């Protein structure tokens, strides 16, 4: 079953790649944001089921954004999408119960993470 | 200030850089769907003034993407693509996302994204071995000669007295007929302290 997803990435290229991949996997991209502040505003407005969240954002890092999302909605679900898969970052992602998909990734990698985040 | 790294420190740093470069080239191959080879790679402590003159004979225009970290391990990562080299990369990426063809400032977006993925690959080995988290900034893409782009990336250093640890990697893809250069500049004093700590653990 498809999910309503908000895509958050500062890179327009990544947003396009994610949007095409998620749509081809049967999901609905309900909005896009390119910064942490935009993500928080869009989340309140659009109430997506899931957020794909880049870690390197221009105003705050994705892990901080996820903590703020959880302050708004403790059930907020997210998939971290980043080139940063350092040990310390993976530990933080695990603590936040958010799977991390490392760039570059395949549609199968992304779908696996979406399923994990929504389970 | 001048920095004298011990043989052991140089050995560990070289090992970390080689591991990072290997991961970056694997990720670039996955992203572009083509094989990449490392043509040359060097790691050395150099005075800023020398770093700024290393490309002085090359007057071609390049796209440059700069990523920075100002955390526990300050660093600057600069990815350089000659102007002619970006077209094959754009075409390779457009195969997996046709909508990319309509993206405004497409070249800058492609250069920024590739730099981000390569930069993350190259710092991962250091972050994991030194038990740090290195958060890179979003890429800033601009155009100029390699010397102009290096000068902008190194502006925080004092060209008269500072020494940095510089890694310079040249990569080539025969399948795509294209090239790129990666420059990683590390704060020499901080890096030496972190290497010492890692060696004595």
Q: pLDDT tens digits, residue range A21-59?
A: 999 999 999 999 999 999 999 999 999 999 999 999 999
Nearest chain B residue to A104 by CA: give it. B31
Q: How far apart are CA A102 and CA B112, in angstroms?
A: 17
Peptide bond into B192 cis (omega under 30): no
Q: What number is the average pLDDT over the span A58-79?
A: 96
Chain B hits for A88, Cβ within 8 Å: 127, 131-133
Highest-pLDDT range among A84-93, B38-47, B161-170: A84-93
- Which of 13-72 (A) contact B at CB < 8 A? 13-14, 16-17, 19-20, 55-58, 61
Whole-number pLDDT of residue B95: 83
Contacts of A57-65 with C-beta under 8 Å, sequence gap 24+, read A57/A8, A57/A9, A57/A10, A57/B138, A58/A10, A58/A34, A58/B138, A59/A35, A60/A35, A60/A36, A61/A36, A61/B135, A62/A8, A62/A36, A63/A89, A63/A92, A63/A93, A63/A96, A64/A36, A65/A8, A65/A36, A65/A39, A65/A40
Distance from CA of B174 to the nearest CA of A (A): 21
> What pLDDT is stored for residue B97 in this prediction?
79
B100 and A83 within 8 Å at the Cβ level: the answer is no
pLDDT surpassing 70 at residue B1: no
Q: How far apart are alpha carbons B130 and B134 in whole angstroms?
A: 10
Identify how many contiguous H helices and E strands chain B contains and give both numbers: 6, 6
In B72-145, alpha helices (H):
86-96, 106-129
Query: pLDDT of B93-132, one tens digit each?
Result: 888 778 888 888 999 999 999 999 999 999 999 999 999 9
| Min Cα–Cα distance to chain A from B165, Å | 22
The residue with greater pLDDT, B102 or A2, is A2
Give contacts of B141 with chain A, Cβ < 8 Å. Answer: none
Q: Is the CATH code 3.40.50.720 the one for domain A4-112?
A: no
Reported for B103-111, long-range contacts at CB under 8 A and 24+ positions apart, including other chains, are B103/A12, B103/A13, B103/A16, B104/A12, B105/A12, B107/B63, B108/B63, B108/B141, B109/A11, B109/A12, B109/A13, B110/A13, B110/B86, B111/B63, B111/B65, B111/B79, B111/B81, B111/B86, B111/B139, B111/B141
Q: Which residues of chain A have a CB within 8 Å of the CB of B137?
A: 56
Q: Going from the N-terminus, what domains does chain B have, and what CATH number goes with each?
A: 7-200 (3.40.1550.10)
Show the beta-strand stretches assigned E in chain B: 37-47, 62-69, 75-82, 140-144, 163-173, 178-187
Taking CB atoms and an 8 Å limit, are B117 and A17 in contact across chains?
Answer: no
Residues of B in contact with A33 (CB under 8 A): none
Domains in chain A: boundaries: 4-112
pLDDT for B138: 93
Residue B26 has a pLDDT of: 93
Instruction: Name every chain A residue with its beta carbon within 8 A of the beta carbon of B30.
Output: 104
| Residue B15, number of CB atoms within 10 A of its CB | 13
Q: Is B20 on the interface with A (CB under 8 A)?
A: no
Least Cα separation, residue B107 to chain A (angstroms): 10
**Distance separating alpha carbons of residues B189 and B187, to the nearest angstrom:** 6
| Cβ distance of B131 and A88 shorter than 8 Å | yes
- Concatenated DSSP letters of A4-59: EEEEE-S-HHHHHHHHHHHHHTT-EEEEEESSHHHHHHHHHHH--SEEEE-S--SS
Residue A5: the pLDDT is 98
Residue B137: per-residue pLDDT: 93
Determine phi and psi for A38, rounding to 5 degrees: -65, -40
């Amino acid at each position: 079953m498809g999910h309503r997803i908000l895509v958050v990435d500062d890179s327009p290229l990544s947003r396009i790649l994610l949007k095409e991949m998620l749509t081809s996997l049967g999901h609905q991209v309900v909005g896009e944001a390119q910064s942490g502040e935009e993500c928080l505003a869009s989340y309140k407005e659009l109430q997506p089921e899931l957020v794909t969240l880049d870690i390197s954002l221009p105003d705050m890092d994705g892990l901080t954004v996820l903590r703020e999302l959880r302050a708004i909605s403790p059930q907020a679900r997210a998939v971290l999408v980043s080139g940063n898969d350092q040990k310390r970052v993976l530990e933080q992602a695990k603590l936040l119960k958010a799977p991390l998909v490392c760039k570059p990734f395949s549609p199968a990698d992304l779908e696996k993470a979406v399923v994990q985040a929504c389970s | 200030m001048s920095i004298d790294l011990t043989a052991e420190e140089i050995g560990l740093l070289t090992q970390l850089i080689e591991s990072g470069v290997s991961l970056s080239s694997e990720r670039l191959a996955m992203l572009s769907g083509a094989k990449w080879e490392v043509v040359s790679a060097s790691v050395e402590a150099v005075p800023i003034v020398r770093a700024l003159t290393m490309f002085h004979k090359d007057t071609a225009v390049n796209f440059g993407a700069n990523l920075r970290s100002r955390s526990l391990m300050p660093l600057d990562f600069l990815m350089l693509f000659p102007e002619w080299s970006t077209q094959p990369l754009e075409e390779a990426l457009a195969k997996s996302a046709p909508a990319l063809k309509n993206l405004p400032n497409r070249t800058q977006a492609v250069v920024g994204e590739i730099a981000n993925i390569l930069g993350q690959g190259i710092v991962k080995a250091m972050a994991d071995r030194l038990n740090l988290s290195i958060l890179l900034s979003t890429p800033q893409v601009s155009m100029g000669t390699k010397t102009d782009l290096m000068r902008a990336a190194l502006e925080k250093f004092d060209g008269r007295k500072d020494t940095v640890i510089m890694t310079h990697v040249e990569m080539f893809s025969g399948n795509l007929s294209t090239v790129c250069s990666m420059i990683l500049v590390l704060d020499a004093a901080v890096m030496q302290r972190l290497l010492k700590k890692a060696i004595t653990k």
